[in-house]
Structure 1
Amino acid sequence: MIKEFCAENFTLVPYAIKAGAKRIELCDNLSQGGTTPSKGVIQKTLQFSRDNNVKVMVMIRPRGGDFTYNLDDAEIMLNDITTCQELGVDGVVFGATRQGFIDAGLMEQLIQKSNGMEVVYHMAFDQIEPSKQFLAVDWLAEQGVTRILTHGGPTKEPIEDHIAHLKRLISYAANRLTIMPGGGLSYKTLPNLLSQLPVQEVHGTKIIDLKLDNSF
């Protein structure tokens, strides 16, 4: 089981890894749903995580708000991916939508720029019209995307309300890419979710029982 800890900065990374996190998603501004962290934060997190054999995924998102990006946003995202390439990041996390579906043009550019790194389509997936989500899985799998992070439905609703849809997505994706549940999960609710979903990877800010002692 891979527990991916969503870290807003470096502060909690050592505690999360000590408590069993096997992968870190690094971002900033969680109150806005996560944006791209600074180069310094990425460097420090990479250094510590590599020493502990833990992968680091970096959020590529230039701002809060929606996931429909203009040319300026796209330029920023491409430049941030280049920075991640130069630093040796394991993977990048991004998503772009347009008119209720994937923004294929921008996504193709971002994926091409990410060559050599894992690519994760984040919870922008939940903004895609449900009737189009299976087509989105097809498209992302064809593009070589590694994982889709999804709540299975509106994030304001408990993830337990979306078990049925998550099951459908997991079955449909088969072995082409990984469907990774996230959003509202915690180490306390995880056993119930795992009893209902055939998943080996989960994501969240509370997915690990952090022990905030003074050992670091």
Structure 2
Amino acid sequence: MTRPVALELAVQDPTGVRIAGAVGAARVELAQALALGGLTPSPATLDLSIDAARAVGVEVHVLVRPRPGGFVYSADEIAISESDVRRAIEAGADGVVIGALGADGMLDIPAMRRLRDAAGGASVTLHRAIDVTVDPLATLATARSLGLRRVLTSGGASAAIDGVDTLRALVAEAAGGIEVMAGSGVDADSAPALAETGIDALHFSAKRRVREPEGQARDDVRMGSAADGAGGYEVTDLEIAQSVVDALLR
């Protein structure tokens, strides 16, 4: 049996929250637009997901990310994020997931302090911005010095299974002073090997693409960008989520 780790499911709605409860996850990361890497969820999504989480006994940690793309933010974007952090905690979220970088490729310390303080003592996770910093080990140390609860990381790789050596180094650097949670491309095949690196938690999305039935809508009209959702949308899948859990129990 693989070393037990806490499970966090990345979800986009109350249905995903209920699936997290059904498979025994400790918490969810609540976002919208996971296909874009995740963005701050709407107020209604936040409220209804927190209600669902209370019913099934999982924590809600809210991703606060004002736009797709990189993590170097303008003053307006930081102000928006600060307000979103406060709104999430006031709504009853157990924590927030944040990240902001400076032009030097390291954490934007003033912005991180501002967002941390807006959480008012609630749990704060540094998201995968750590994976695009110039020195993930130094970034982990900075996150710890800021009093953050955990970091979400793929070990600097596109998929966490390809970053296992860095994940082990991050676990050693953390030395129990901050949690290391592995995520990105996690599935039933990779979950046991990731758990064996010594991480504290495993983050996965268990997404399944739903395609629109043929003839339901025209597909020759674009509503915006090339990523406007044509061809379907993603949902949390119970069977996929359960397969990850089962793999860890073998």
Q: TM-score, normalised by structure 2?
A: 0.78
Distance 2:50 2:181 in 1: 22
The yes-or-no answer on 1:19 pairing with 2:47 is no
How far apart are residue 16 of structure 1 and its match?
2.6
Partner in structure 1 of residue 127 of structure 2: 122
Task: List gaps (5 residues or longer) in structure 2.
Answer: 208-235, 241-250
CA deviations over 1:169-193 (Å, ceiling 9, x no partner): 1001111101100001013421232
* Other structure's SS at 1:164 match: helix
Distance 1:189 1:144 in 2: 30
How far apart are residue 124 of structure 1 and its match?
0.6
Q: TM-score, normalised by structure 1?
A: 0.90
How far apart are residue 100 of structure 1 and its match?
0.8
How far apart are residue 20 of structure 1 and its match?
2.1
RMSD: 1.7
Partner in structure 2 of residue 4 of structure 1: 8
Query: Residues 89 and 127 of structure 1: is their aligned pair in 2 closer, same or farther, counting only changes over 3 Å?
Result: same
Distance 1:189 1:139 in 2: 29
- Residues 131 and 153 in structure 2, CA contact (< 8 A), matched pair in contact too: yes
Distance 2:73 2:118 in 1: 17
Distance 1:23 1:30 in 2: 17
Partner in structure 2 of residue 145 of structure 1: 148
How far apart are residue 209 of structure 1 and its match?
6.9
**Which has the higher Rg, Structure 1 or Structure 2?**
2
How far apart are residue 41 of structure 1 and its match?
0.8
Give the letter for the 1:112 counterpart.
D
- Residues 67 and 95 in structure 1, CA contact (< 8 A), matched pair in contact too: yes
Distance 2:65 2:115 in 1: 11
Aligned ranges for residues 63-212 of structure 1 at < 5 Å? 63-98=67-102, 99-129=104-134, 132-155=135-158, 158-194=159-195, 196-206=196-206, 210-211=238-239
Q: Please identify, of 99-108 and 201-210, the stretch whose mean Cα deviation from structure 2 is larger.
A: 201-210
CA deviations over 1:133-166 (Å, ceiling 9, x no partner): 22222211111100000000132xx322211111
Percent identity between the aligned chains?
31
How far apart are residue 12 of structure 1 and its match?
2.2
How far apart are residue 11 of structure 1 and its match?
2.8
Distance 1:199 1:137 in 2: 14
Give the letter for the 1:182 counterpart.
G
Give the letter for the 1:162 counterpart.
G
Distance 2:176 2:192 in 1: 23
CA deviations over 1:14-48 (Å, ceiling 9, x no partner): 12311222211000111211000011111111111
Task: List gaps (5 residues or longer) in structure 1.
Answer: none
* Other structure's SS at 2:129 match: helix
How far apart are residue 85 of structure 1 and its match?
2.1
Matched residue pairs, number? 207
Aligned ranges for residues 22-61 of structure 1 at < 5 Å? 22-61=26-65
Distance 1:4 1:120 in 2: 12
Distance 2:116 2:16 in 1: 29
